[in-house]
Each structure stands twice: as structure tokens, then as C-alpha cells.
Chains A and B, each alone.
Chain A
């Protein structure tokens, strides 16, 4: 395994251990209920990262196929959470079956096959029409537009966007052993750290609310802190990538901003549907979708940027 990978994973392990240690220390010191609640929230997040770290590390180490399968499973979980909240009717049952048992496997198979062209259009074009037509065949026009459109949203967010994350591993970067595993690690670490830093900066320095009608907890200070942190972490981890330090910093900033965008967009959806979390899979955290919402816009843009600038002339991934 590449030495850069070992260094990166070792560092992440170190950071997690420090985070756990700090959390435990804070837990002992907390007295007021507000402090205790804050520590509990941090502890829940640290636990979730440990879990994510272990899972992702295994997948990345075991190779592209495992990683692709892992994200396929995550797509299915996210999809289930999203669909649960939608006003689907009996008539949508078969269309939904097509999504879970046909479209998801095909989309991830396309990654495995390296068929980039079909990967980018399968869901927006074919998936879109297959779903709509199957619902038409069921003959139920009540709320048809609302049902079909919201199902397409679920498909785009949970499957199409998320599938761009494991797709990173298929990027054929010159000088990188042909594999994007380290780049995937870079992306995930930057995204997650930005998320954390937004939360921490928000709690520490948060004053002006940024989108109060959508997400009452997000502040300008939190947003700025998170994005800057993402830029910095991008620079620190640039050794994992073909980017120069400055390019890596810029890409980190971009991921930070897009991560925020994905997060608030899915928060707006939750607001509309009057729910607090998408699911209850991760205790204290919500569902899978609550955890990966920041990757939804960031992953496709990241994939396109890297592919456009760093893999010249490719027709595949």
C-alpha cells in the first residue's frame, strides 16, 4: 500500500483518538445541563466518525469493488429514508421496486464497468422516464406530478449524487497507480472535517444566522470557519492528490461551500416535510442521509473538476 495512504490513515487515527480523549475529558468537566448536552452531541459525532472511519478504511483498503458495494448499500439506506417521507401511493409500488432493485444496481455496476458516459446520464434521462412511465401505467393520476417529481428527487439525491463518491476511485490519475483511493480519502476527510468545524465554530463563535428559515442552527461564523478549515485541511492533505498545495486549498474551499449547500438544501426538504431527521439509524445523529447530505453536491462537482483538469483527454472516468 502506498506510503502516503499509510501516513494519512495513521494521522486520521491519531486525530480520532485525540478527539475521543478530549470528549471524555470534557464529559468529566461538564456541569450545567447545556454543557452536558453539548458534550453529548460531540460524543455522538465522534462515535459516528469512528464507525465511518472503520467502515470506509476497510472498504478503501479492500479495493474498488468493496467501496462501490458499500456506497450502493448506503444509497439504498438513504433512498429508503427519503422515500419513507414522500406521499407515494399504491400505484408507485412497482416504480419504486424498479428503483431499488434495478436502477441502483445498474448505476453502481456502471461505475465498476468504468462506463462514464452512461453513468452520468442513466438516472437523469433513463431513470427519470422509466419511473414516470411505470407510474403512468398504474393509471393513478392523483397527485401525479408531486409523486413523480419527489421520487425523482429521492433518486437524484440518494443514488445519482452519492454514486459520484465511489466513482472517484475509478479516476485514472497519471502517477497514482491508476487508482483514486487516496483521492477518495481526501474527499471524505475534507467533507467530514468541514462539517465538524462548522458545528464547532458555530457553537463557539456563532452569532449571525445565515438561513434562519431553513436551518436555525447555521451561522455565518460557523459557515466561514468550516469553509476555511476545509481549505486548510485540503492543503495539509494535498500529498494524497495530484493537486498543488494552493490548488488543493482552493478545492478544499470549494468542497466546503458545496458541502454547506448540500446540507441546507436537504434541510429545506426536511423543513417542508416537517421532520427533524431523515431516519434513526445512527443514534443521536439521524439517518444515513443526515450524515452524507454534505456530499451530494460536493461529490459530482469534485469528480468533474478532477476529471477535467487532472485526467486530460479521458473518455472514461
Chain B
């Protein structure tokens, strides 16, 4: 119920406009990856998902942030159904990867923000992608990777601000990509990044 309320509030505040290039992508468990510029990004992507799919799209988020405090802990665990990974210690990498792969195995989808920390600038660009997506693709090569482009959420609530300015926001969900056999990391990540840049240019 809290979920429905948050979804509705997000839609009203952002006048959310959702474009899905290929509705069939929503039928398969996928790894969704989106650009990151605002605290509202997660809420916007969730609000863009159909009601039936929303609980099964699990955001991959940093444990050190989401377990710092009761409200965040509640939100990440109960509301968002997040997979928490440890960004500080690379020793935990294997565990984190296993969690993520297990989720896909169980039929859930993942939501990843591969740009890492949110950008500060006023320009609209897509940052460099971290390598997590590649490692996931290596473990489960036939997983579809679906780009999501979020527009204007960084204007709604820029980094460092608390009160949002109502601005019309758009979520564009693109076509799925899969890793080619023997595709090197740089090429794969570049291809993923390019697909997001294409979405960015196509979003009206």
C-alpha cells in the first residue's frame, strides 16, 4: 500500500511519461540499467513499471548507504526489495555477484545504475560504466540487458537539494541487448553505453 502511494505521488509530481520501445522486454527477467542523476531515479523507474512487475524489479544498491539508519533499512529491504552490495571491499565481490545471479535465477529482474556516483553537472551526458554489468553477463550469458533513460529527474531534485521542483519527467525503456560469445569487457560495456546514449538522443 505504501508502494502504491509512493508510485502515485511520484507520477503526480513528475507528470511521468513512460515510453517502452518493445513491450515484450517486460515479459522476461532482465537486467535493467539506467542513468543516475537524482534520489528520485529509483522511484521513477519503479513508477514506470507495470504493477505486476514492480515487486520483481530489484534495485542493486550500496549497503553502506542503505543500512545506515532505520528508515533507509526499511525502505531498501521491505519496500524496494533491494539487493545490497558492498562497494567498499572488493573481497565481497564474489558474494555480491552470487546474490545478483541468484535473483535472476529465481526469476526476478535487476535494476542497476552503472554510472556509479551521481553526476554533478548541468549537461546531459552518460558517464562511464562500471564493470559490474560485464561480470553479470559472464555468469549468465543469455540474460537480456535493457537500457532505461531517465530525463529531467536531475532537474527535479539535483544532488544536494531536498525539496523537488515539479518538472515533467520521461522514462524511456529501450530494446534488450545480450552479450556476444567471447565479447571483451570494453566492447560489451561500450555497446551498453551506446544504447543508452541512443535512447537519450531519441527521447523527445
What residues of chain A have their CB less than 8 Å away from a CB belonging to chain B? 76-77, 79-81, 83-84, 88-90, 93, 96-97, 100-101, 275, 279-281
Q: Which of chain B's residues has its CB closest to A89's CB?
A: B122
Given contacts A88-B155, A89-B122, could you give 12 more A-B pairs where the C-beta distance is less than 8 Å?
A79-B166, A80-B15, A80-B167, A83-B167, A96-B165, A97-B163, A100-B165, A100-B166, A279-B168, A280-B15, A280-B168, A281-B15
In the complex, B147 has a CB within 8 A of chain A:
no
Most buried by A among B122, B152, B163: B122
Which residue of A84, A93, A100, A275 contacts B161 across the interface (Cβ within 8 Å)? Answer: A93
- Chain B residue at minimal CB-CB distance from A99: B165
Chain B positions within 8 Å of A279 at CB level: 15, 168
B168 near A84 with CB under 8 A, answer yes
Which residues from chain A contact B29 at a C-beta distance below 8 Å? Answer: none
Q: How far is the CB of B157 from chain A (nearest CB, A)?
A: 9
Contact between A80 and B166, CB atoms less than 8 A apart: yes
Q: Is the interface of A mostly helix, strand, loop or mixed?
A: helix
Docked pose: A101 CA to B165 CA in angstroms: 9
List B residues 153-204 near A (Cβ within 8 Å): 155, 158, 161, 163, 165-168, 204
B165 touches A97 (CB 8 A): yes
Contacts of B28 in A (CB 8 A): none
Q: Can you name the residue of chain A whose Cβ is closest to the Cβ of B151?
A: A84
| Smallest beta-carbon distance B124→chain A, Å | 11
- Taking CB atoms, residues of chain A closer than 8 Å to B122 are 89-90
Assess the A280–B166 pair: CB atoms within 8 A. no
Residue of B with least CB distance to A77: B15
Mostly, the B contact residues are: loop
Contact of B158 with A90 in the complex, beta carbons under 8 Å: yes
Give the A-binding residues of B (Cβ under 8 A): 15, 17, 122, 152, 155, 158, 161, 163, 165-168, 204
Chain A residues near B163 (CB-CB < 8 A): 97, 101
- How distant is B48 from chain A, measured CB to nearest CB, in Å? 14
Report the Cα distance A84→B203, complex, angstroms.
14
Chain A nearest CB, measured from B39 CB (Å): 14
In the assembled complex, the Cα of A96 lies from the Cα of B156 at a distance in Å of: 10
CB distance from A197 to the nearest CB of B (A): 30
Can you list 16 contacts pairing A with B, beta carbon distance less than 8 Å?
Answer: A76-B166, A80-B166, A80-B168, A81-B168, A83-B165, A83-B166, A84-B152, A88-B155, A96-B165, A100-B165, A100-B166, A275-B204, A279-B15, A279-B168, A280-B17, A281-B15
Determine the distance from Cα of A101 to Cα of B166 in the docked complex, in whole angstroms.
10
**In the complex, what residues of A have CB within 8 A of residue B158's CB?**
90, 93
Closest to B165 in A: A96
CB contacts (< 8 Å) of A96 on chain B: these are 165
**Most chain A beta-carbon contacts within 10 A, residue among B15, B17, B158, B204:** B15
- Taking the nearest CB of chain A, how far is it from the CB of B22, in angstroms? 21
User: Smallest distance from the beta carbon of A279 to chain B beta carbons, Å?
Assistant: 6
Cβ of B167: which chain A residues have Cβ within 8 Å of it?
Answer: 80, 83-84
Q: A280 CA to B19 CA in the complex, in Å?
A: 13
Q: How long is the Cα–Cα vector from A101 to B163 in the complex, in angstroms?
A: 10
* Minimum CB distance partner of A85 in chain B: B168
> Which residues of the other chain, B, contact A89 by a CB distance below 8 angstroms?
122
What's the Cα separation between A96 and B155 when bound, in Å? 11
Whole-angstrom distance from the CB of B135 to the nearest CB of chain A? 34
Nearest-Cβ distance from residue A138 to partner chain B, whole angstroms: 11
Most buried by B among A76, A79, A100: A100
Residues of B within 8 A of A97 (CB): 163, 165
Among residues of B, the one whose C-beta sits closest to the C-beta of A278 is: B168
Residues of A within 8 A of B204 (CB): 275
Considering the chains assembled together, what is the distance between the CA atoms of A45 and B17 in angstroms? Answer: 21
Q: How far is the CA of A88 from the CA of B154 in the complex (A)?
A: 11
Measured CA separation A83–B168 after assembly (Å): 9
Q: Which 8 A/B pairs are nearest by Cβ-Cβ distance?
A: A84-B168, A96-B165, A80-B166, A89-B122, A90-B158, A84-B167, A93-B161, A97-B163
Flag if A93 contacts B165 (CB, 8 Å): yes
In the bound assembly, the distance between CA atoms of A80 and B163 in angstroms comes to 15
Cα distance, A117 to B73, chains bound together (Å):
53
